[in-house]
Structure 1
Amino acid sequence: MTNHVLLYTNAWIRRIDLLSKMLVPLAMAAITTGFKPLIATLALSGFAFVDMVLELILFMHVRKHHPRLLQPKDLPTSDSDTDPDHHIAGAELTSPVLVYLRHPVLLASLAMAALY
């Protein structure tokens, strides 16, 4: 696939993802307030099941038609000088948790997690 096709596909997937993040809470609120709890639970379970089946079918379709995605990616070289987050005081490695806790977007990330 060309880079243009990947960018186009990624943009559409992001749009779908953002739209679903906005509409799903509204739909869930409407279903849970408009119907009895048992009916609302069954409806939401049905939507989840249909979504799961659809995602599996689409996933298998993509794997079948794009075998290049099944190939393993090239592993990065072990040159520690290319990634400054993986060493402190020379060659000492940091844990991913420490890198995350020191990251400048930590508070924004925690705020976003609290919303969900």
Structure 2
Amino acid sequence: RLLAAVVLTTVIRGPVVGERIQVTNKLELEMAVIVHCASKDDDLGGRPLDFNASYAWRFERNFFWGTVFWCHVAFRGSRLSFTAYDQGQLGDIQDYDVRSDGVSGTDLQTGQLVH
């Protein structure tokens, strides 16, 4: 009976796997930025990041109902937006650098820089 309850709970909730995303301020002009990230269920709020500072968070993804996190970055009147996590769409990009020419991520499987 216990096994049936565990299986039923897993099917209803869906299995979860821990994920981590990190955003680092790498602006060449060494200025602070505000990073605001959210999903449809969680608004992480705005975070100020000094030059070379990072903001990281962990979350549980759900295999049955896709998880998407997006971020908005503001600095000196400029705004950038990017999808930080889209379950099944972005591969293994979990570390992002904010630069004056945009946001880039590193694919953890290939080591390739992706803009």
TM-score under structure 1 normalisation? 0.19
**Structure with the greater alpha carbon radius of gyration:** 1
Between structures 1 and 2, the one with greater strand share: 2
Taking CA–CA contacts closer than 8 Å with sequence separation of 6 or more, which of the two structures ends up with the larger relative contact order? 2
